[in-house]
Amino acid sequence: MKRKVFDLLSQFIDWRVRRIPERRFLYVLSLVIGIVSGAAAILLKNAIHATGHYLTHRLPIDSQSYWFLAFPLVGILLTVVFVRYFVKDNIGHGVARILYAISRKNSTIKPHNNYTSIIGSTMTIGFGGSVGAEAPIVLTGASIGSNLARIMRLNYRAITLMVGCGAAGAIGGIFKAPLAGLLFTLEVLMLDLTISSIIPLLISSVTAASLAYFFMGDDVLMKFTLQDSFDLSNIPFYILLGILCGFIALYFTRATMWVEKKIGKVKSPWFKLSLGGLILGILIFFFPSLWGEGYQTIINIFNGQGHDILNNSIFYGLQSKPFVFILILIAILFFKVIAMAITTGSGGVGGIFAPTLFMGAVSGYFLSYGINIFSDTGLPESHFALAGMSGMMAGVMHAPMTAIFLIAEITGGYVMFIPLMITATTAFLTIMWFEPHSIYTKRLAQRGELITHNKDKAVLTLLKINDVIEKDLLTTTPDATLGELVKTVAKSKRNIFPVLDENNCLKGIVLLDDIRNVMFNAEMYECTHVHDLMISPPEIVNPNDPMNVVMRKFKRSNAWNLPVVDDEQYVGFVSKSKIFNAYRNVLVDVSDE
């Protein structure tokens, strides 16, 4: 059966290559990816909404519920069991995994990611895990794009583009925001895009968003319609909000990585999930607004019901005490990051997209509410919540354009365009002063595994040492005489000679330029040995070194050729000229239209 499927697929690919130009085929494939990734977004959002509603809709609003102590632990337990015994692979940190796949895996994402993130995040978030569904669905969409492109036997450039199409479709579908899907892919994921690459991304994003309009109800998504226009006199307050969001985004990034690092030191996965689930349950028990994605809290703020953030809480009734309420808002901002990091660190599956929007809305609400208490300014709290969301997105994700257009699309208009731009830009500039990498890229950057929008770095990362190792150099031994070395030189077409011992270990090198003045002196042929003439290589290359590390070694040593040694065993040589030729070929493949 598999053989028949393979033969049919091969026949289809051969027919496609003959009849359909690649660019036109990419348009068709991007449409398919948009449909599938949009359907995945619809499935995930509805599954999470249905699970959470079933568990919480009977809980009393005016008092705390002890169920909040148990539900998150159960969700993380189910997720860990599913991942550990069924998936047997890490499916957390979805966006970072996509970046890693682009950087190190030739944009190859494992097929199980087509569905495992949906199941894992439904268990985690549906039971109250304080994370978002966007990263899992982006990983799902990217996996769909990657695997369909590889099935169609496309090249690296096309596969990477289809990964972007899957991500754009996922964001466009989950928010009904096609332009935000496109910009998210451009700002966060892609290496280098041309105008023709934009069309497939738009096709996927618009297709997925259209599906969401048909099949996803308004109660599942975050939606808000602006009632009032933007007031120019509030611009200084939006600048202040941008600075506040920049510093909160800095706390968000640093605290997330710190908490995950600490909980990551716990070796036992069962103790880790128990500890994390217990802490998360306690946090949600005291602050039920930390439950799940937090979109209900955002909607309440939009609708002028920000005090409902204390529903189901032991603090219910304190809304009438403004100063106490402000302190509670600060506590929620502080503990949201901890709750999110504990959820993912203890084994849950989810992302930082929704927590970022939650903290942005609460930050904007906190600032406007506080100013309104101490003055008669009358700042519109819903407007500042929206601007705060754009500021936090710009700060945490380093994606100001995505932030601006996503919030604009959510509101259904561009009345807030100026304050969104002001807040997002100010927040971005503020955090860039302290943190050059987004939370998505920071881990990869620390390990030197990040491809950025710099095409030169992208191409270097795609080059592999094994593809450029030269093994045609003639070797000699330390005890060989000068006469024997001269015979080796006569047979060689190269000007460098590795010196190896009986165990094939590199002891040094002999350069033709270094022996030119003695190689014609016959009197020295028997009394001079190679160990008298050899020198140590200026640098040693390991077969596992990334190409950017190899190029740094070339730059430091000022050499044109460097030996490759694996665990003291000589492998061959790598030369600048061979790397430059390979670089040029890969660059053509990446950039070819």
Highest mean pLDDT among 208-217, 422-431, 580-589: 422-431
User: Residue 260 sits in which domain range?
Assistant: 232-451
Asked if residues 124 and 346 have their Cβ atoms less than 8 Å apart, the reply is no
Residue 508 has pLDDT above 70, yes or no: yes
- What's the average model confidence in pLDDT over 211-225? 67
Asked if residues 118 and 47 have their Cβ atoms less than 8 Å apart, the reply is yes
Residue 415 has pLDDT above 80, yes or no: no
**pLDDT at 588 (0 to 100):** 55
pLDDT band for position 339 (50/70/90)? very high
Specify whether 189 is located in the same domain as 280.
no
DSSP H or E segment with residue 575: strand 569-575
Residue 382 maps to a domain? yes
134-176 confidence digits (pLDDT tens): 888 999 999 999 999 888 888 778 888 899 899 999 998 888 8
570-583 confidence digits (pLDDT tens): 989 988 877 777 76
Residue 221 maps to a domain? no
**pLDDT at 452 (0 to 100):** 46
Final residue of a structural domain among 215, 241, 267 = 215
Specify whether 312 is located in the same domain as 374.
yes
- CATH code, domain with 470: 3.10.580.10
Q: How many CA atoms lie within 13 A of 77 on its CB side?
A: 11
Residue 593 has pLDDT above 70, yes or no: no
pTM above 0.85, yes or no: no
Asked if residues 111 and 147 have their Cβ atoms less than 8 Å apart, the reply is yes
Specify whether 482 is located in the same domain as 383.
no
Residue 269 maps to a domain? yes
Highest mean pLDDT among 422-431, 477-486, 512-521: 422-431
First to last CA, the chain: 37
Final residue of a structural domain among 397, 420, 451 = 451
- What's the average model confidence in pLDDT over 115-122? 90
- What's the average model confidence in pLDDT over 410-428? 84
- C-alpha dihedral over 198, 202, 204, 209, to 10 degrees? 160
Weakest-pLDDT range from 349-358, 437-446, 515-524: 437-446
Weakest-pLDDT range from 187-191, 367-371, 383-387, 496-500: 187-191
Q: Which residue has the higher pLDDT, 227 or 128?
A: 128
Cα separation, 150 vs 139, in Å, equals 16
Radius of gyration of the chain (CA): 29
Weakest-pLDDT range from 117-131, 168-182, 398-412, 489-503: 398-412
Specify whether 407 is located in the same domain as 480.
no
- CATH code, domain with 81: 1.10.3080.10
Specify whether 305 is located in the same domain as 390.
yes
- What's the average model confidence in pLDDT over 207-227? 71
At residue 52, φ and ψ (nearest 5 deg) are -65, -40
pLDDT band for position 377 (50/70/90)? confident
H helices of 57-133, where?
67-82, 94-104, 116-126
Q: Which residue has the higher pLDDT, 467 or 139?
A: 139
Residue 92 maps to a domain? yes
**pLDDT at 71 (0 to 100):** 86
**pLDDT at 391 (0 to 100):** 94
Final residue of a structural domain among 451, 473, 500 = 451
Residue 196 has pLDDT above 90, yes or no: no
Tokens of 148: 């369909």
Specify whether 172 is located in the same domain as 195.
yes
- What's the average model confidence in pLDDT over 543-555? 82
555-570 confidence digits (pLDDT tens): 888 888 899 998 888 9
Q: Which own/partner contact pairs does 469-473 have at CB distance under 8 Å and 24+ positions apart?
A: 469/543, 469/564, 469/571, 469/572, 469/573, 469/574, 470/572, 470/573, 470/574, 470/575, 470/578, 471/571, 471/572, 471/573, 473/497, 473/498, 473/572, 473/573
56-77 confidence digits (pLDDT tens): 767 766 556 777 788 889 989 9
Residue 2 has pLDDT above 90, yes or no: no
* Domains: count for the chain: 3
Specify whether 154 is located in the same domain as 265.
no
**pLDDT at 239 (0 to 100):** 95
Weakest-pLDDT range from 153-157, 247-251, 333-337, 478-482: 153-157
Write down the mean pLDDT value for the chain. Answer: 83
pLDDT band for position 390 (50/70/90)? very high
At residue 410, φ and ψ (nearest 5 deg) are -60, -40
Specify whether 582 is located in the same domain as 468.
yes
pLDDT band for position 458 (50/70/90)? low
Residue 226 maps to a domain? no
**pLDDT at 82 (0 to 100):** 92
Residue 293 has pLDDT above 50, yes or no: yes
Residue 227 maps to a domain? no
Q: Which residue has the higher pLDDT, 278 or 190?
A: 278
Helices 547-557, 576-591: axis angle to 10 degrees equals: 140
Residue 287 maps to a domain? yes
**pLDDT at 335 (0 to 100):** 93
Specify whether 357 is located in the same domain as 421.
yes
**pLDDT at 278 (0 to 100):** 92
Residue 1 has pLDDT above 70, yes or no: no
Specify whether 11 is located in the same domain as 92.
yes
Specify whether 180 is located in the same domain as 149.
yes
Specify whether 277 is located in the same domain as 417.
yes
Residue 301 has pLDDT above 60, yes or no: yes
Q: Which residue has the higher pLDDT, 330 or 375?
A: 330
488-499 confidence digits (pLDDT tens): 888 888 888 999
Residue 225 maps to a domain? no
List Cα–Cα distances, 241 to 234, 297, 425, in angstroms. 11, 19, 11
